Amino acid sequence: MKEYYSPADFDGAPKYDAHIHYHTFDGLFVRKAAKAGLHLLTVNTNFDILPIDVQFEISRSLHLRHPQTFNFLGAFDATNFASETFADDSVRQIKKCRAAGARGIKIWKNAGMVLKNEAGQYLMADDPLFDPIYAFLEKEKIPLLAHLGEPRNCWLPLERMTTHSDRQYYSKNPQFHMYLHPETPSCEQQIAARDRILERYPGLIFVGAHLGSMEWSLEELANRFDRFPNFYVDLSGRITHIFEQTFRNRNGVIDFFQTYRDRVMYGLDYFVSPNGSRNWMRPVCKCFPRVYMNWLFGHLYGEIEKHWLFFATDQVIKTGKVLNTPLSPRYIKGIRLPKDTVDRIFYENVRRVYLNSNLNG
Ligand SMILES: [Zn+2]
């Protein structure tokens, strides 16, 4: 007999947010999360929002104060790829992160979408320049979290995008809408570069952020899980795409999560900062940081509860407008996966993939 959760079980259920960006030394949010039984994995990222050295110091400091409930992934600086000492510098940076307790390393979409060599070609994530880094991570069994590419909608015209949120985002940010920039590498090229890394480094523990940028097709994802035994994904920032596929093929979605329950981990992809800005050096909120942080925690915890109810129960939850159609339903019925599956997605897989690696030593 399979066991199932009821909606009232949420507070007591184990929960790990495997993809958050924690951009403040203030531990208030971590303490509130710990009290609520929510563990956090903050992801240092090679973006220009906050220098990776500052992200690292925040992570190290909070991990020291909250070693059980707050963990982090380090990052290396891919923007230095043209330096002759790039590989050595990156490996040194990874060792520094590891010594401070990092549970893995992140590579970001600037590889493939932003960085260009002298000849004006995009530096793809499978460029040989990265080989010493991947080889080191594979040898040391250090997980790699990879945000490569973007949602496929990014390469489609606005009217063909599947979700309302993507359509809104790309209509407001045409600079990131790759359909308008055909000179850049295609969606397929991004995925192909990623797949070549997986082929070349079969022992590398590889987590594809944001459903591995294959959010549009669980069949495509299943195909990669079958081909690459060390490939995992997080759900961060792409739950809407799960809702979209559930509207189309509810049983297929249920089968997918049952079959691949060891490969998927929950994450939200929110920024925690004291003033509402992704970069705490550029405040956008005039309210007191503590007031804001209290509000933010309540808001994010509510989001996590909504997502948990979707996976764990058959309760109807409010989604807002999901589909890129005028009559998009605003509610969805949960897919009620067995308790064991829910716990793997919301907690166990994060522990197994990131925390039980040999970084524990
Ligand atoms: Zn992120």
Sheet of 105-107, strand order: 264-265, 231-234, 206-208, 144-146, 105-107, 70-75, 38-43, 15-22, 271-272
Measured in Å, residue 44 CA sits from the centre of ligand 1 at 8
Backbone phi and psi for residue 119, each to the nearest 5 degrees, phi listed first: -80, 0
pLDDT-derived band of residue 276, with 50, 70 and 90 as boundaries?
Answer: low
Distance (angstroms) between ligand 1 centre and the Cα of 99 equals: 23
**b/e per residue, 204-242, with b = 16+ CB within 10 A?**
bbbbbbbbbbbbbebeebbebbeebebbbbbbbbbbbbb
43 C-alpha vs ligand 1 centroid, how far in Å?
7
CA of 4 to the centre of ligand 1 (A): 31
Residue recorded with tokens 């929510």: 38
Query: How many CB atoms are located within 10 Å of the residue 284 CB?
Result: 10
| Confidence at 267, pLDDT banded by 50, 70, 90 | very high
Both tokens of 138, joined, read 């594979």
CA atoms of 274 and 29, how far apart (whole Å): 10
Q: How many angstroms is it from 2 CA to the middle of ligand 1?
A: 34
Partners of 71 in the β-ladder: 41
Alpha-carbon gap, residue 105 to 83, rounded angstroms: 20
Task: Give the per-residue pLDDT at 16.
Answer: 98
d(Cα 110, Cα 204) in Å, to the nearest integer? 21
What is the whole-number distance in angstroms between the Cα of residue 25 and the centre of ligand 1?
18
For residues 94 and 75, what is the distance between their CA atoms, to the nearest angstrom?
7
Give the largest CA-CA distance in the chain.
61
How far, in Å, from the CA of 141 to the mean position of ligand 1?
22
Which residue in the block uniquely carries the two structure tokens 């990222």? Answer: 45
Neighbours of ion ligand 1 (CB under 5 A): 269
pLDDT above 70 for 359: no
Q: Please state the φ and ψ torsions of residue 218, each to the nearest 5 degrees.
A: -65, -25
What percent of the chain stands above pLDDT 90? Answer: 89
pLDDT (tens digit per residue) in 191-205: 999 999 999 999 999
d(CA 32, CA 295): 11
**In angstroms, what is the span from residue 210 Cα to ligand 1's centroid?**
8
Residue 287: pLDDT over 70 = no
Question: Which pLDDT belongs to residue 358?
Answer: 44
CA distance 150 to 170: 11
Asked if residues 275 and 292 have their Cβ atoms less than 8 Å apart, the reply is yes
Q: How many residues does the chain have?
A: 361
Residue 110 Cα to ligand 1 middle (Å): 13
> Which among 283, 343, 259, 361 has a CA at the least distance from the CA of 15?
343
286 neighbors 36 (Cβ within 8 angstroms)? no
Q: Contact 319/331 with Cβ under 8 angstroms?
A: yes
6 CA from centroid of ligand 1 (Å): 30
Partners of residue 20 on adjacent β-strands: 42
Task: Please identify which residue in the block is written with the tokens 């503590």.
Answer: 290
Per-residue pLDDT averaged across 23-33, rounded? 94
Select the more confidently predicted residue: 209 or 49. Answer: 209
pLDDT band of 1, cuts 50, 70, 90 = confident
Pair 61, 100: CB distance under 8 Å:
no
175 bridge partner residues: none
The pLDDT confidence band at residue 356, using thresholds 50, 70 and 90, is confident
- Does the pLDDT at position 341 exceed 90? yes
Centroid of ligand 1 to alpha carbon of 269 (angstroms): 5
Q: Tell me the C-alpha distance between 238 and 254, whole Å.
A: 16
Strand 70-75, strand 15-22: pairing: unpaired
Coil, helix or strand for 328? coil
List of domains in the chain: 10-286+339-360 (3.20.20.140)
Determine the distance separating the centroid of ligand 1 and the alpha carbon of 19, expressed in angstroms.
Answer: 6
CA of 59 relative to ligand 1 center, distance in Å:
15
pTM beyond 0.85: the answer is yes
Distance between CA atoms of 28 and 65, rounded to whole angstroms?
A: 12
CA of 147 to the centre of ligand 1 (A): 8
Residues linked to residue 146 through DSSP beta bridges, in sequence order? 107, 208
Sign of the alpha-carbon dihedral angle for 99, 102, 103, 104:
negative
Reported as half-sphere exposure (CB side, CA atoms, 13 A), residue 141 has a value of 10
Could you give the angle at the alpha carbon of 164 between the alpha carbons of 145 and 236, nearest 5°?
A: 20
Ligand 1 centroid distance, CA of 328 (Å): 27
**Ligand 1 centre from 332 Cα, in Å?**
25
Ligand 1 centre to CA of 191 (Å) is 18
How far, in Å, from the CA of 107 to the mean position of ligand 1? Answer: 11
Instruction: Compute the distance from residue 329 Cα to the ligand 1 centre, in Å.
Output: 28
CA of 146 to the centre of ligand 1 (A): 10
